[in-house]
Amino acid sequence: MSSSQFAATAAERFPKGLPSATVDAALMKKIGAEAADDLVQLIRAESVNPPGNETRAAKVLIELLKREGLEPEFYEPLPDRGNVSVRLRGSASAANPKLDPRDKENGALLLFAHLDVVPANQDGWTVNPFEGVVKDGYVWGRGAVDMKGALAVQVGVIRLLCARARAAGLNPAKDPIPGLRRDIILTATADEETGGEDGIALVLRDRKHWLDAAVGLTEAGGMTITAAGRRIYPLQVAEKGFARFNITVSGRWGHASMPDSDNALLRAAQIVERVSVPGPVQFVKENEALVGALRAALPEAAIARLERLLAEKTFSDAAPLNSEAPTAGCAPELLRALRAVLRDTFAPTIIASGIRSNVLPGSATLTVDSRILPGTTREQAQANMLERIGPDLAPFVKADLTEFGAAVSNPMDHEILGIASAAIRARDAEAILMPAVAPYATDAKITVPAGIPTYGFSPYLLDPKERFMERFHGVDERVSQEALAWGVEVLYDVTMGYAGE
């Protein structure tokens, strides 16, 4: 790890002061508030995937951008699966129209998001998940966290850049933005929640210029995690891949009055237990950097809890996360995330068997979702699954790897990480910045293999009690209005710090 990037200060990266400090305070406050209003509109444009219907949200985004005088492009390669992009020009591309958008010194900065959301069963919600409710200082609804809130923050940055142009009497849709060297691209796509093949993959194929950039920023990093009295801001440098298995288990049909071990459901239950064992910690380079940063930053009691976690090999080794006393160690949210990112994981998610209550099932099916670290290949994922099932059950099992996506990683010494670290540290002098591996997949799984370094950075200042990571795909998904406004300001500084003159 290049410690200089994660230890960067505002004096080092912003020697002339934070760009946000030059923005009129009333304007900054107005645009910060508008981020919450924009999010409400985006949540109300229901875009549950499947089937998606992202065009609903795309039309909302188009109108938001048109209000700024911009001319966004729309691409709908499949019915109702809309995608949107807009470009703000910098001085470099204006001077050289043939400039390579990936040029290290002058290439574009890509801000990108997805328009789709996962389903939201009303059970457990205290609000209508698609009403976009504003209460108690929060915007509530499906997509508030994943990731329409981050898109609203990105739109806020675009608003601030457009305001720079208008203040100089320029047209932000046509003229270079004053003070901007690199182009800024904002792109929002469909289908991230089911793999991106009907969204960003088609955009890359047919609208490559919407994504071509020197570096990209998407979800999710830069938000506060409070642990052992420390405020940690993970910057996402890598993300796990996925390997999904459909396992068919055979047995012998029979009468339920005479049960025996040939019951396919019993065998499936054994497989569930075996594949669920966490397994040992895998110290890929990203995890070495993460653990090293935690050991350097956390107090002694928290480090002791971290070391116990690193030694866990089964669930029986693991202390319940919510039983931790506040003074004894890390926040449950952080520990849960660490357990996920420090190893390849296997999560049984669906099981089906049987036809009647009095019939022993002769077959069962099991779905297992495995999340894999950088370096784990398709072949290794398959072998790991078979090893967990075991040779005694192997004759009764057919394990098909139905979906696979490799993990992605990015350089940990990229300058934008230092700029992001400095922008946060300027607002929180005690902030601890560190690299992080996302336990889930994002659309970076498409952009990174295409040669576009992509980091997770959607900054929020969060209340210490806020279990933000648990809001992803959870009930009562919400983000505070204050966090959105803070995110606009920080992301603006990172944008100008990287792309400014």
> Is position 365 within any domain?
no
pLDDT band at 297 (very low <50, low <70, confident <90, very high): confident
Residue 457: inside a domain:
no
DSSP per residue over 126-149, as a string? SS-TTS-EEETTEEESTTTTTTHH
- Residue 415 counted as domain residue: no
How many Å apart are CA 33 and CA 362, to the nearest integer? 59
pLDDT per position as a tens digit, 46-92: 999 999 999 999 999 999 999 999 999 999 999 999 999 999 999 99
Output the six-digit token pair for 358: 């009095």
pLDDT at 231 over 80: yes
Question: Cis (ω within 30 of 0) for the bond into 51?
Answer: yes
What percentage of residues in the chain have a pLDDT greater than 90? 81
pLDDT at position 279 is 80
pLDDT digits (tens, 9 = 90+) for 440-464: 889 999 999 999 999 999 999 998 8
Structure tokens at 64: 């938001």
The pLDDT of 302-327, averaged and rounded, is: 64
Whether 238 maps to a domain, the answer reads no
Among 165, 196, 154, residue whose Cα is nearest residue 65? 154
d(CA 88, CA 452): 19
The sign of the torsion formed by the CA atoms of 427, 431, 437, 438 equals negative
Q: Over range 350-365, report the average pLDDT.
A: 97
Q: 4 pLDDT band (50/70/90 cuts)?
A: confident
CATH number at residue 30: 3.40.630.10
Phi, psi of 95 (to 5 degrees): -75, -30
- Residue 15 domain-assigned (yes or no): yes
**Section 179-187 average pLDDT:** 98
Confidence bin at 318 (pLDDT 50/70/90): low
C-alpha angle 368/372/373, rounded to 5°? 165
Task: Give the DSSP letter of residue 223.
Answer: B
Name the pTM for this structure.
0.91
Tell me the two tokens of residue 132: 């976009």
Is 272 a domain residue? no
Tell me if 8 is assigned to some domain.
Answer: yes
Short-list 165, 125, 117, 148, CA closest to 37: 148
Encoded amino acid at 114, one letter? H
Query: Over the stretch 8-26, which tens digit does the pLDDT of each residue have?
Result: 999 999 999 999 999 999 9
Split at pLDDT 50, 70, 90, the class of 319 is low
DSSP letter at 460 equals B
Are the C-beta atoms of 308 and 269 separated by less than 8 Å? Answer: no
Rounded CA separation 63/155 (Å): 11
Q: Are strands 138-140 and 478-480 parallel, antiparallel or unpaired?
A: antiparallel
Q: How many folded domains does the chain comprise? A: 1
**125: burial class by Cβ within 10 Å (0-12, 13-18, 19+)?**
middle
Phi, psi of 246 (to 5 degrees): -110, 115
For residue 138, the enclosing domain spans 3-119+129-198+208-220+463-499
Instruction: Tell me the mean pLDDT in the region 215-233.
Output: 91
Strands (E), 145-266: 184-189, 215-218, 225-227, 230-239, 241-250, 254-255
Residue 184 in this model has a pLDDT that exceeds 80: yes
Residue 330 lies in a domain: no
Pair 130, 144: CB distance under 8 Å: no
**Paired residues of 348 in beta bridges:** 368
